[in-house]
Each structure stands twice: as C-alpha cells, then as structure tokens.
A and B are shown apart, each in its own frame.
Chain A
C-alpha cells in the first residue's frame, strides 16, 4: 500500500499529534506528583471490560488504563470531528472516498505488562467487537457491535499500519473510534481477563481494585507521551450513599466529582459551602425520554404516541425534575453543547415544546381522533427503573398524562428486570434515560431507532427513516449532513416512538487545586487524566 495514494480529507485527517497537550492554567507550570481522589458512585459493573458494557460506571473509571486509536481532545469541551486527536494513532487518512480509513500507529508504545503494542492489537480489538469471522475471541456481552456494522474488513499490513475497509462511506466511524467506549485491548490478553484486571497502554496502571471500596491507579512510567501523566496516581473512591459522596467532596477527601453526578441543587449547595470550588457546566449527552411500544396497542397508533408527546411540558419537566439543570433538545445534543442538535426555532415547532395549554389541547384532539375520550379513558402502565433519577421524571410524566385524560400508573421495575422487559417489548410505556457514547448521528440512530437494533426499545421500524439514516451516514459534506440530521430528528419526534423530554446538564465539580481538567459535553469521553495536575 502506497501512502502517497491516500487522499487526505478534512482538517482532522493526517493530523500529527505528537502529544495530547492540554494548555496548563495561564502563568502556571504544571506540577508533578500527588494522587487525585475521584468520586465513584458504584463499583465497576464489569471490571475494566469496557467493550462488554454500556455504563459509565465501568467506562469512566477504566479510561485512565486504556488508550484509543483516536480520542476527543481533552482540552476541548465540545466534541466534534475537528476535536479528534491521535492517541495510539499518530496520523490517519481517509481514502477511496471515505471507504477506507488508514491509521499509522505509534512505534513507542508498550502494554502495561511490557509487551509491545502493534497493529495486531487494533485488528484484534475491532474484529472482536464487530464479531468478525476471523475474530480469535468473543465478548460475553457486546453492546456496540452495531457501531461497526459497516466495517467489511480490517487489515494490519505491517505492525504499525491498520486499514479499516468499509462497505460504504461512513465519516462517523472516526467519531465512534474516538469514544471512551472504544479502547484498544491487548491481543495477548483474553477479553475475560479485563473483567478482573486491566492491561492497557494508558497513562495509569491499575494498582489495586478493592471490591466495593476503591480502584487505585499508579502512574505508567512507560507512557508514550513523555512527561505525562503529571499525577503519581488516581484513586476512585466508591461511595454508594449520595449524601456521603457530596460530604466527601465538600470536606476535601475527594478532589473531583464523578461525571454526571452534580445536579443543579447539589451545585448550589456546594457552592454555598465551598465558594472556591470549581463547577464546569456541561451537557451529559444523556436524555430523558419516553419509550412507547410501537408493536402493541395503544401505542401502535402514531396518533396516541404523538398525543403523549404533546402532553408533556418539557420546560415544566426541566424545572420540576431537574431544578433547571437540563435543556431542551431533540434526539441529538442541542447547540452549543453538541454539533448536530436542532436550533431553538426548530425545537419550538416540535410536539410538546410549545405553550403547554396549546400542546395539551392538541394532545386531547389527537386522543379523541384515536377514540380516547374522558368517557373512554386510556389506562397505561408507565414502567420505570426504581432509581431516583428515573422516578422524578416518571412521576412528572404521569401527572402530565393525567391532564389530557391518560391514566398512567407508575410501575417500578428493578434494574434486573428493566432491560429484559424493554428488549422483549414486554411493556406499554416507559420512562427512560439514553446516554450516547459519542455525539454522532450514526451512533445514536442505529443504536436507538434502527429496525432490529436490540436497544431500539420501542421497536420502531420505518423503512423511510432507515433510508434517511443511510443517506446522512454517507454524506460527506458536513453542512448537508447536518441538515439531514435535523430532518431526521424532526421526523423522529413526529413519529414519536421515543419522544425526547430533556437533555441533562452536569455541573462537574472539582476543587480549585485541580488543574488541567476540562469537562466535556459527554460523560463518557474524558477522565483520562493524563494532563491533570494538582496545584498543592
């Protein structure tokens, strides 16, 4: 393969990244040393096996151990194609009109066990995740196989080159590879081992994982970026009780909160108690939404689904359930937090986003057209996970539905039962949260709205929409693609299989002595901590 034939596309392509340097605080030289104490609200769900999980409880505390091929620039809080920087890949190039993506790898990288990192590891990792016929191992649980459905073949022509050959152009692939959910595994380590320990190439090595208590990392002295990390170590302290977590942060036993953990109320309390504490308001890329089973009455009727969407006052929800700590948005994160979201004028035209009285009147009209009247009310069970962050939202929804003549009953479901129930379609309606591993339309649409996707809980399937997904996915012109994505979002809200109610905000908290830490508008894609230092 001749490199000269590669066609560089876009500013990000062929980008040389010698080091992911984060600009230190002005006038201050980074100091080395110290251990950063970080909040964790639960123990690792599946150890360090990031590819076998879709929860921030595993992916975020595992991030310091791993490296990706590419990652989102730690210094930039809004993630986009332009903020993708190299980690294990020194540079990359699209060729053949975005059908092949070629990565040129670093030559100075060692796994934490001392073995050299090569292209074999990259091929192994993504063959594993996409369950390729040539994969030499299998994941026990594989939530993101669909992300790589368009990859036809992965080649490792030499130890430092990897080629992803695609079935059709897909610029989004790079963004999915940059997600915190796309670390590179070592080919010489069985995937099951990652459930108990971590062999990565990241800035920190796992020192000790005391179950239910803490996860401790030590600086990786062989890290491929010289002079990093600044910290000697990290310690994720697991504190299940919310009040104790906040108290631990307030008392200084913790330096940093967990992503997505600091709501508006907590932020205001902490700010009052510790005026010097730093809060970074960012979006979580986690939405509140309603899932409706489109395969069963009454929600197989689009009018009833639309009526539900009209009935729920989004602004009221943001105030009541989030105390203002959320924003309006469609399926994609709204601007300025994300790059694909709809503008406010578009949002205002969507069901449920206008004046509450008018919206509820519209909901009643639609219900009447579907034969649902005060004399013949609709009774539904609203399934919800028995967790506080779900219940507040679900209670609000039930109250809103009541106002248009839908008698909703909250059915609290234990976590063990929630996903089997949702995947089987064994429910009518549910109050749900959806987190996106990356602010990318492909990652969202194919995962949550595509026909047959196991995480498409509403079992919505529209041929027309699938074609729209395919078209936007292949579109190379970013402006045209953005317009297509907006159209898709409008269509999804009109079809209402999963009306979006709000996009959650986080007031990411840390002490002022923590420097070089920039929270992202996505809870999954920062926390590598290689550029973070303590001014103490």
Chain B
C-alpha cells in the first residue's frame, strides 16, 4: 500500500510538473499580455511606457528564466505578486479556495443524495412508469446546463419573491442560515446536473450486477430485497459510481465558473476567468496548479476508496 502510495505521489509530482509547463506555455501563447490590458484601460499604447512596465513586472525576461523563477518561488511557497492587484498572489487566492471547495463538496453531496437513490430505484423498477419518470428527470438534468438552471432560479426568485440569495459572501459565523441559502441554491443547481450522470451510471451498473449469479443466489436464499440490493448488489456496483463522483468533484473545482458568476460567489473559477482575461499570470498559474492538485488528490482518494469498498482490490501486492 505504501509503495503504491509513493508511486502515485511520484506520478503526481511529474503530472504537476507537466501541468506547470503546459499552463505556462499556453498562457504565453494567448495573444496580448497584462501590459496590453493595462493600456487598454488607458485607451492608448505607448511603446516606451510599455517596455518600462514589462521590465517592472519581469515579463521582459526570456520565457525560460520566467518559468524557472516561478517554479523556484513556487517550491519555497512564494506564489509571486498579482500583476493586476500588485499584491501577493496567495493573499488573493487564499479566500477563494474555501468558497469553491465548499460549493464543490455541497454540490457533490447533493448529486450523491439525488443520483444514487434514484439510480437504484430506477434499476430495481426497470421499465416501469417510475423508471421512465426518473430517466426523464435524469435526462433533463443532463440537458440543462447548471448556469442556466441557476439563472432560472435567480429569475424565478426575484420575479415571485422579490428576493435573491445574498450577492456578497456571508460567512457561516456571520449568519448560518443565509450562508446555507447562499450555497444551497447553487449546490442544488450544480448538483442536479451531476446527479443525472450519477443516476445513470448507478442504474446501468446495478442492472449489470443484478444479473450476476450471486444475486440470483441471494434471492434464492430468501434474503429481503433491501439486503439483496443494498448489501450484495450496490456494494459491487458502486465502483464505477465512485469513479464518476470523483471525476465530477474534480471537474467542479474548476468548472463552476458560470455558477459562481450567476450566484456571485467569490470562488476560484470566477476569479480564474477574470485573471485569464487580465493575463494575470501569477494568479492564473497558481490557481491552475491548485486545481491540478485537487484533481490529482481526488483521483488518488477515489483509487484508495476502491480498496476499501472492494476487498478484491489490493494495492502494492
């Protein structure tokens, strides 16, 4: 197990290194830089002033030098300074992380709470009206983008109640109820979409397992439906579901852009888009690295979970 873990962590380091190169290069391939943006807010460009700002920000150096400087600083915990805000990148990034993590975790919980039970019911009531209804419900979730659903929620609330969730962040200690509302609604919008995927995977995996001999044996032994389904079938069908949940969670960390915008939540994804538009390299590079770390850890966690869920899976032997 330990060997496996070390192997995975080694691969993770290599992946992060690869990511760092990719994001660094991709950012520089995009036309324009922070200096262009700064001048665009002034409505003109001056070549000499441009050179001076590039020097001030250190983006006049060769790309290799810039990359090495970033990595060197990154390794000692210095994330650099935001070009736009002229402040340490970590000071800007730090408050964004809990917001996105909380939203992603809540959305995933919503997705699991809706997706797994509906998937199970749909499988055990295959081809009944209930199954069809749940499949339509699921298909609708897949068809409706979370941001659209979010916008519909906002518009419905404001039209009928003249109320929307708070548009500035409310901490749980400040007002727990408002905090729950503020995160609950977007989590519902995002979680519904993810739940659709989980529901379909749960259903198909369960249907496959239900045809196995050992399930037939369980029925033959006279075990109750609850035991057959939840203990024998679902436990064996859950691995692909866990995989999907892991992938969805990882996707949510960077993929909540529009939801964060619609609900005006100050999270990573919303800020990342702004930073990309501003070519604020230190912010973008470090946020993408953060997302990469979460994705890697989430995959690792899912893999570890396999071993726990399925005794046949043993690592490192």
Contacts and interface: CB of A to CB of B under 8 A. Distances in A.
Which of A239, A252, A253, A416 has the largest count of B CB atoms less than 10 A from its CB?
A416
Nearest to A247: B158
Given A43-B274, A196-B86, A212-B270, A251 B162 contact: yes
Contact of A420 (B45, B162, B167, B279): B45
Contacts of B36: 416-417, 419-420
A253 B167 contact: yes
A416 B276 CA distance: 11
Given A248-B167, A419-B45, A423-B44, A243 B151 contact: yes
Nearest to B38: A141
Which of B85, B155, B157 has the largest count of A CB atoms less than 10 A from its CB?
B85
Contacts of B53: 140-141
Interface residues of B, number: 46
Contact of A455 (B44, B49, B86): B44
Given A47-B86, A417-B31, A141 B49 contact: yes
B176 interface: no
Interface stretch (A50-58, A154-162, A324-332, A466-474): A50-58
Interface string B231-264: 0000000000000000000000000000001111
B37 A416 contact: yes
A449 B32 CA distance: 26
B167 A239 contact: yes
B164 A140 contact: no
B167 A454 contact: no
Given A140-B53, A414-B31, A417-B31, A243 B45 contact: no
A52 B151 CA distance: 36
A53 B33 CA distance: 17
Contacts of B181: none
A253 B45 CA distance: 39
A258 to B, nearest CB: 14
B184 interface: no
A416 B50 CA distance: 13
A43 B273 CA distance: 13
Nearest to A235: B168
Contacts, number: 141
B268 to A, nearest CB: 11
Interface residues of A, number: 49
Nearest to A39: B167
Contacts of A53: 41-42
A424 B164 CA distance: 46
B166 interface: yes
A454 B41 contact: no
B163 interface: yes
A454 B42 CA distance: 10
A240 interface: yes
B154 interface: yes
B87 interface: yes
A12 interface: no
B41 A55 contact: yes
B92 interface: yes
A47 B262 CA distance: 24
B299 to A, nearest CB: 29
B41 A45 contact: yes
Interface in B185-206: none
A54 B40 CA distance: 8
Interface string B191-229: 000000000000000000000000000000000000000
Interface string B1-44: 00000000000000000000000000000011100111111111
Given A241-B261, A244-B264, A247-B154, A415 B44 contact: no
Interface of B: 31-33, 36-46, 49, 52-53, 56, 85-87, 92, 95, 151, 154-155, 157-159, 162-164, 166-169, 261-264, 266, 270-271, 274, 277, 279
Given A248-B164, A273-B159, A423-B44, 4 more contacts: A248-B167, A253-B166, A414-B31, A419-B39
7 contacts: A140-B52, A142-B49, A192-B86, A248-B164, A251-B158, A419-B43, A423-B44
